[in-house]
């Protein structure tokens, strides 16, 4: 058997619908066989062992629900998994409907033109950074189809009826849809795309009941809440602009969205008066009842909703929505126990889950009483019911409408591949699961209970019951050392990150002290057992930068103050981070220097949020010891190793913990158009699909850098530019003429069209034959000229009342005939009559129209040109100042002078040569590569509106002095094709005259450089 699943797991492009998948057997294990076609949703095969049941009353099978119109004999025959089977059928059927709709070009449904344009943008726009993954677009397509298409079709109404039926049972009065995307697939971008779709339509169709401009985004904790600020259109790193998720001209519509981001803890009604416990008891003794000082529901909603108060309709996004459900009463079954777990621990976890779920769902129900919630979108990698919900743990929400599983994400390369790098060498290793994967099963009963530390870290090694735990840490640490050395040799700025996920505070404190070191009661410092993780050096002195941190996720995420005992225990670590904050500078340092103390929880969240980010408070963290679950949504991409020191039993728990290590570092495609596999090594988590103990060859890590403006040191080299969204023309109304040049030329041939006109056919033996494509021709050339002239008139001289300036028709016919005589060529079986094909007709029209505009520019010498640029009304000016993005591209130039940015990302081989010449050339005063800069030139080609992104913008002294520099747009170009001609015509005939007419952005010009050896000569000759 080959091991290709582990060494070459990626089969599909992340930007296309999956075309094949790895076959899994009934136990969820890969058979190493590749199956053509997309993997179907299937929730009847578990990827992990079933949990051990407790000793108590046998669990009663839940009553089967009505399976709706998907019910069939097969479903009827399934008892235990009937609900899972039904949900899989729902998701697969809806997936097929959306796929057919997509393949038809979104025909057959009454979507708005704005929706259609956004869908086309997400699929086809040439994004300068990470473009939307297929799974992200599909999730949005499902939401759009159910909103705009489903109500108009009989089959669509069946899906709506299914949703309504299940929501009425589980979420009375609330309209919920769950979108399931694997961890690392980018749920935040999906929310941004949904917000853009809703807002643009709400602005342009204000009376439509389907759309809204109001959005409430609810997170499970403060860390995710802080990270979700990119959903705000006004945020400097807003996804709508930084990730180009909406066309430039729609940005101003998105700005009108009202978005409130909160965490579900805000739904807890707070005390309005601070009454001491003794005073409260005294008042109760006098009156017989305790005074009610809690907020009313209305006060809570007003505090939580903020700017959304008074909004007629809103949409709610539940990020990590599996925490939100109505608990189902269930006295007929006991909570299932996992290996090494006590009944008390299981009960406490269930009660914590239920308390969070009650608070979240109750808050939504209160809001629904006051304001109409159009729809609630639950986004989660694991939209399952949690322990204690009254449903079997790990049961999928029945309102889940799309699924892109972890296996799908692995096969598309969107996430790292979790793997077990070391095999057991025990005699029975071939028949039982390796002990390092079922770690808790063997050590759980020996670990300290909550609130009690049974072992001194100094004596931990002498405890035979926990020797297996230390062996697991040592084994994984040994592999971490190798990876760390690889990263350091390759010049990585941040170290890889190792995570331990523990079951309680006693375990986490014990392991934290053992790994990182600790101070004894007599003040003596003990170095940690693992040198790369130790916070102390060989002499017992603390390192200036902490290497290991201990976090209690629940305490940090609630937003409450840390308990006094927590601050006391970790006072040394907190003081160290305050010292680091002062040294690093910035807002936190300013607060500390002004005598303002920083809340300890805020400081620790800052450390956690910046793990893996260079030059930040958490940038040097190598190990994170976590109490209970690590923060969901924590997006550090340098996590390479995870050790689970707690009980696991369901896919939910396994996938949530492993998900913390799945975020990729590089999103660059390889030569096969696929992502290169990245790996996360995992012990202690029984995630079975990677059970094969294969050691895949180590790959050099990919360095990820942040490209940004260096401020204020390089502010003198800032470059600003106009954001143009279109053009307004004022051509002569009575008489027109045209000036043709090389860009006016057009040729039709097999080389250009890619379509053959001849082919040769032959049998195995005998005479061959040649087939020739004969295009239908017309008898009169005059008819062709008339058609082209009329098309030009209709598309370039439209009027509001539908009338056409027919007095220009005769002049256009003369211009068209001249263009055909002087500029058009056809060969290889093509003729001039192929110009009647729609794409060719549009290209010809655009070339003729550009020649007419060119003539208008010539005639206006000495006066205002007939073109005015239309600027983006919300953001008319762009700047190098706002550049801020992450990339792992290796094609990077490091400017030493004359550039505002720290790095320039280039495509063509010649571009570094241009950078080298620009930095050395005396005329060049500043320059920048136009990559994720936002500088775009709109143009038309083949009847479609497109965006041209020139290569460089250079500020150059062309003889008028440094107070009046020329802004030179530079294109580095080898061979030119028809689209290059269209771009050149657009910038010379429309963009340049339109901007120079405004006189508010200085002087602009354009040059193309087609010879690497003439770069300096071209810059020498520049003059306005």
How does the average pLDDT of the chain come out, rounded? 80
pLDDT given at position 979: 86
Give 577's pLDDT tier (boundaries 50, 70, 90): low
Beta-carbon count within 10 A of 35 CB: 13
Please tell me what DSSP assigns to residue 638.
-
pLDDT given at position 76: 33
pLDDT given at position 349: 74
Give 965's pLDDT tier (boundaries 50, 70, 90): very high
Residue with tokens 């030009």: 792
**What are the tens digits of pLDDT across the range 298-327?**
888 888 888 898 888 999 999 988 889 888
Cis status, amide bond into 714, omega within 30 of 0: no
List 80's β-bridge partners, or say none: none
Please tell me what DSSP assigns to residue 675.
B
**What are the tens digits of pLDDT across the range 984-1007?**
989 999 999 999 999 999 999 999
pTM of the full structure:
0.71
List 758's β-bridge partners, or say none: 772
Cite the beta strand spans of 811-951 per DSSP E: 824-826, 867-871, 877-879, 884-887, 892-893, 904-905, 924-929, 937-941, 944-948
CB neighbour list of residue 61: distance below 8 Å, 6 or more residues apart: 79, 80
**Does residue 147 carry a pLDDT above 90?**
yes
**Does residue 487 carry a pLDDT above 70?**
yes
Contact 938, 945 (CB under 8 A): yes
Q: Which SS3 state, helix, strand or coil, does residue 766 take?
A: coil
Q: Long-range contacts: 672-676, Cβ < 8 Å, 24+?
A: 673/13, 674/10, 674/11, 674/12, 674/13, 674/413, 675/10, 675/14, 675/412, 675/413, 675/414, 676/10, 676/413, 676/702
Pairing of β 258-263 and β 214-219: parallel
CA–CA separation, 117 and 115 (whole Å): 5
**Does residue 730 carry a pLDDT above 90?**
no
Contact 934, 882 (CB under 8 A): yes
Contact 175, 375 (CB under 8 A): yes
List 1001's β-bridge partners, or say none: none
pLDDT given at position 69: 33
pLDDT given at position 1002: 94
- The token duo for 258 is 């009202």
Please list the alpha-helical segments (H only) found in 767-808.
781-796
The closest alpha carbon to 947, from 126, 23, 360, 12, belongs to: 126
**Does residue 823 carry a pLDDT above 80?**
yes
Q: Which SS3 state, helix, strand or coil, does residue 375 take?
A: strand
**Does residue 338 carry a pLDDT above 80?**
no
CA–CA separation, 80 and 404 (whole Å): 24
pLDDT given at position 59: 37
**Does residue 15 carry a pLDDT above 60?**
yes
**What are the tens digits of pLDDT across the range 543-555?**
877 899 888 765 5
Q: Long-range contacts: 113-118, Cβ < 8 Å, 24+?
A: 114/200, 114/201, 114/204, 114/250, 115/144, 115/148, 115/197, 115/201, 117/247, 117/250, 118/193, 118/196, 118/197, 118/200, 118/246, 118/247, 118/250
What number of CA atoms fall less than 13 Å from residue 255's CA on the CB side? 13
**Does residue 690 carry a pLDDT above 70?**
no
Q: Which SS3 state, helix, strand or coil, does residue 846 take?
A: helix
**C-alpha angle 467-540-450 in degrees, rounded to nearest 5:** 45
Contact 413, 214 (CB under 8 A): no
Give 588's pLDDT tier (boundaries 50, 70, 90): low
CA 44, 48, 49, 53 torsion-angle sign: negative
Give 448's pLDDT tier (boundaries 50, 70, 90): confident
pLDDT given at position 97: 94
């Amino acid at each position: 058997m080959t091991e290709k699943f582990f060494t070459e797991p990626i089969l599909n492009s992340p930007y296309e619908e999956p075309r094949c998948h790895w076959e899994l057997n009934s136990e969820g294990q890969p058979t190493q066989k590749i199956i053509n076609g997309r993997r179907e949703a299937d929730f009847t095969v578990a990827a992990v062992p079933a949990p051990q049941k407790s000793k108590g009353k046998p669990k009663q099978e839940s009553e089967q629900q009505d399976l709706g119109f998907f019910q069939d004999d097969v479903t009827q025959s399934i008892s235990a998994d009937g609900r899972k089977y039904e949900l899989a059928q729902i998701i697969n059927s809806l997936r097929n409907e959306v796929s057919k709709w997509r393949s038809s070009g979104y025909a057959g449904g009454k979507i708005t033109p704005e929706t259609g344009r956004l869908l086309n943008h997400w699929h086809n726009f040439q994004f300068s950074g990470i473009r939307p993954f297929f799974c992200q677009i599909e999730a949005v397509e499902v939401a759009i189809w159910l909103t705009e298409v489903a109500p108009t079709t009989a089959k669509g109404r069946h899906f709506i009826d299914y949703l309504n039926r299940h929501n009425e049972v589980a979420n009375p009065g609330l309209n919920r849809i769950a979108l399931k995307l694997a961890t690392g697939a980018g749920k935040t971008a999906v929310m941004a795309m949904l917000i853009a779709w809703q807002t643009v339509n709400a602005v342009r169709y204000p009376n439509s009941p389907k759309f809204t401009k109001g959005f409430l985004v609810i997170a499970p904790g403060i860390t995710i809440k802080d990270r979700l600020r990119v959903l705000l259109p006004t945020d400097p790193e807003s996804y709508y602009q930084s990730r180009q998720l909406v066309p430039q001209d729609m940005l101003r519509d998105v700005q009108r969205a009202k978005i409130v981001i909160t965490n579900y803890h805000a739904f807890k009604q707070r005390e309005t008066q601070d009454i001491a416990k003794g005073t409260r008891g005294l008042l109760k003794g006098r009156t017989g009842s305790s005074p009610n000082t809690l907020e009313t529901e209305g006060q809570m909603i007003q505090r939580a909703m903020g700017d959304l108060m008074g909004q007629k309709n809103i949409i709610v996004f539940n990020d990590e929505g599996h925490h939100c459900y109505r608990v189902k009463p269930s006295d007929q079954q006991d909570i299932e126990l996992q290996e090494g777990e006590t009944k008390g621990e299981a009960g406490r976890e269930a009660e914590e889950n239920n308390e969070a779920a009650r608070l979240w769902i109750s808050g939504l129900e209160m809001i629904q009483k006051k304001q109409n919630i159009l729809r609630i979108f639950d986004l989660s990698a694991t939209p399952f019911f949690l322990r204690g919900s009254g449903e079997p743990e790990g049961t999928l929400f029945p309102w889940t409408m799309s699924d892109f599983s972890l296996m799908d994400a692995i096969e598309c390369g969107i996430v790292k591949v979790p793997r077990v790098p070391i095999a057991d060498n025990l005699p029975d290793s071939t028949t039982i699961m390796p002990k390092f994967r079922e770690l808790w099963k063997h050590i759980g009963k020996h670990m300290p209970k909550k609130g009690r530390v049974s072992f001194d870290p100094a004596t931990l090694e002498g405890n035979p019951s926990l020797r297996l735990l230390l062996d697991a840490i040592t084994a994984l640490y040994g592999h971490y050392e190798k990876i760390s050395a690889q990263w350091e040799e390759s010049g990585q700025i941040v170290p890889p990150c190792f995570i331990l996920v523990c079951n309680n505070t006693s375990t986490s404190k014990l392991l934290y002290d053992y790994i990182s070191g600790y101070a004894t009661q007599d003040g003596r410092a003990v170095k940690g057992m693992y040198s790369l993780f130790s916070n102390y050096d060989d002499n017992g002195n603390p390192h200036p930068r902490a290497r290991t941190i201990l976090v209690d996720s629940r305490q940090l995420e609630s937003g409450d103050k840390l308990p006094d005992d927590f601050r006391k225990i970790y006072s040394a670590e907190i003081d160290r981070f305050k010292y680091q904050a002062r040294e690093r500078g910035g807002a936190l340092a300013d607060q500390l220097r002004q005598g303002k103390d920083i809340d300890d929880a805020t400081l620790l969240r800052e450390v956690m949020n910046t793990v893996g980010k260079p030059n930040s408070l958490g940038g040097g963290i190598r190990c994170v010891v976590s109490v209970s679950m690590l923060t969901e949504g924590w997006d550090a991409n340098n996590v390479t190793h995870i050790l689970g020191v707690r009980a696991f039993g369901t896919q939910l728990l396994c996938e949530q913990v492993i998900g913390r290590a799945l975020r990729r570092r590089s999103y660059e495609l390889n030569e096969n158009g696929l992502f290169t596999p990245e790996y996360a090594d995992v012990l202690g988590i029984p995630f079975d699909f990677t059970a094969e103990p294969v050691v895949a060859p180590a790959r050099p890590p990919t360095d990820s850098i942040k490209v940004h403006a260096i401020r204020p040191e390089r502010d003198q080299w800032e470059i600003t530019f106009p954001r143009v969204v279109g053009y307004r023309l004022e051509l002569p109304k009575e008489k027109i003429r045209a000036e043709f040049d090389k860009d006016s030329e057009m040729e039709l041939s097999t080389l250009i069209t890619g379509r053959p006109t001849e082919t040769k056919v032959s049998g195995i033996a005998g005479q061959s034959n040649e087939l020739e494509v004969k295009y239908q021709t017309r008898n009169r050339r005059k008819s062709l000229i008339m058609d082209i002239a009329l098309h030009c008139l209709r598309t370039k001289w439209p009027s509001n009342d539908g009338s056409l300036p027919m007095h220009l028709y005769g002049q256009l016919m003369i211009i068209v005939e001249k263009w055909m005589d002087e500029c058009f060529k056809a060969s290889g079986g093509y003729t001039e009559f192929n110009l009647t094909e729609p794409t060719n007709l549009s290209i010809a029209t655009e070339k003729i129209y550009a020649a007419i505009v060119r003539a208008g520019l010539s005639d206006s010498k000495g006066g205002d040109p007939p073109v005015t640029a239309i600027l983006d009304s919300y953001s008319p000016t762009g700047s190098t100042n706002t550049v801020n993005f992450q990339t792992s591209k290796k094609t990077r130039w490091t400017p030493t002078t004359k550039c505002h940015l720290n790095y320039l990302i280039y495509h063509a081989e010649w571009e570094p040569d241009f950078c080298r010449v620009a930095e050395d050339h005396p005329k060049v005063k500043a320059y920048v590569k136009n990559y994720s800069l936002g500088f775009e030139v709109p143009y038309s080609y083949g009847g479609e509106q497109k965006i041209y992104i020139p290569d460089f913008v250079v500020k150059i002294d062309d003889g008028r002095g440094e107070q009046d520099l020329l802004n030179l747009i530079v294109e580095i170009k080898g061979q030119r094709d028809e689209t290059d001609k269209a771009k050149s015509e657009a910038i010379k005939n429309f963009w340049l005259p339109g901007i120079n007419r405004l006189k508010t952005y200085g002087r602009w010009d354009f040059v193309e450089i087609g010879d690497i050896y003439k770069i300096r000569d071209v810059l020498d000759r520049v003059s306005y």
